[in-house]
Amino acid sequence: MVKYSLVLTLILAILGYSSSSFISYSVNYADRFHPNQDLMTQILNITSFYNLQATNIQTCVGSVLYCGIRIVNQNFLTNFTSGPYEIVSLVGTISKGSLPHIHIALSDKYGSVIGGHLPSLEERQRYNQTDFSCPIYTTAEMILSENVNLVFQRPIDPQTTFDELQISYKNFTFVN
């Protein structure tokens, strides 16, 4: 299995180097989150527990009680409190060191949808507020995918001035 993976990695790397995209294969981590657990905390618990380096959200379906979200182009967080909400979309990447970039869409009891950037734990603290969490209402069925031959990092991009995604191939060390 290990040998097979290494051969596959080499083939993918050779294919990948001939274009600008990075070609990967992935392993999934499936979990179920419980009432009152914080969505971001639980996602990052999985990535840090397994020391994941290049993760994407494969799917997530569930509900939350309320949610702190940063709306596009705003430098503050908004506490959406007219819950419970259905999680109708959760998309994102989580880089090495459990650095998340996640967007969420939530629908309310009228079927109206709100959404935006789901703040990291550091972003929440930056606003000195006690509770910008996003607690689970009934459940969240979570599948994370780890792109096992890649590493995601987030250096500052001078063009945007933000910490943008940088993808590289993992440097495997061959041992007997």
Ligand X SMILES: *[C@@H]1O[C@H](CO)[C@@H](O)[C@H](O)[C@H]1NC(C)=O
Q: Where does this chain bind ligand X (CB under 6 A)?
A: 45-46, 49, 66, 79, 81, 127-132, 151, 168, 170-171
Task: State in angstroms the smallest separation of the CB of 146 from ligand X.
Answer: 13
Task: State in angstroms the smallest separation of the CB of 88 from ligand X.
Answer: 20
Cα torsion 17, 159, 71, 153 to 10°: value is 40
Task: Tell me whether residue 88 or residue 167 sits nearer to ligand X (CB atom).
Answer: 167
Task: State in angstroms the smallest separation of the CB of 53 from ligand X.
Answer: 8
Distance of CA 6 to the CA centre of its chain: 26
Task: State in angstroms the smallest separation of the CB of 160 from ligand X.
Answer: 21
Task: Tell me whether residue 7 or residue 172 sits nearer to ligand X (CB atom).
Answer: 172
Task: Tell me whether residue 154 or residue 170 sits nearer to ligand X (CB atom).
Answer: 170
Residue found under tokens 């503050």:
76
Task: Tell me whether residue 85 or residue 132 sits nearer to ligand X (CB atom).
Answer: 132
Question: Going edge to edge, which strands form the sheet with 26-33?
Answer: 26-33, 136-147, 54-64, 85-95, 99-107, 113-118
The residue type of 23 is: I
- Comparing CA positions, the residue from 38, 36, 138 lying closest to residue 85 is 138
